[in-house]
Structure 1
Amino acid sequence: MPEPTPEELKRENAYLKQRIVQLQSDAMDLSAEVDRLRQERERLHGRRATQAPNPLGSGQ
């Protein structure tokens, strides 16, 4: 495979920089969605979700 030209390397570098920005934005969006869903869960189920009793545990 022939070595890429400086122009091709510049083009690829610009693309990769743009892609990094897009992926960072996606990661921030997902983090915000996780926080929103966590808040929604807490609102619906209280601060801590209650655990179902262990049917195999003692004291039942």
Structure 2
Amino acid sequence: MVLADPRQAGIDALLRKIYEIYSDYALKNPFYSLEMPIRCELFDQNLKLALEVAEKAGPFGPGS
């Protein structure tokens, strides 16, 4: 679950990136079943990286 301030810039891009990571590392995995925990180190690493990038942008985008 992602919670964000409605004024937060770039939340749409972050959600798209999270879905891209999810689809790449969970949905394309033949051993993954829906509603099961995602146990993939690459998923965790890429998700963490995406969140760090979003966090560095700040809550209201660059320059705020």
TM-score range, shorter chain: 0.3 to 0.5
TM-score, length-scaled by structure 1:
0.36
Larger helix share, 1 or 2 = 1
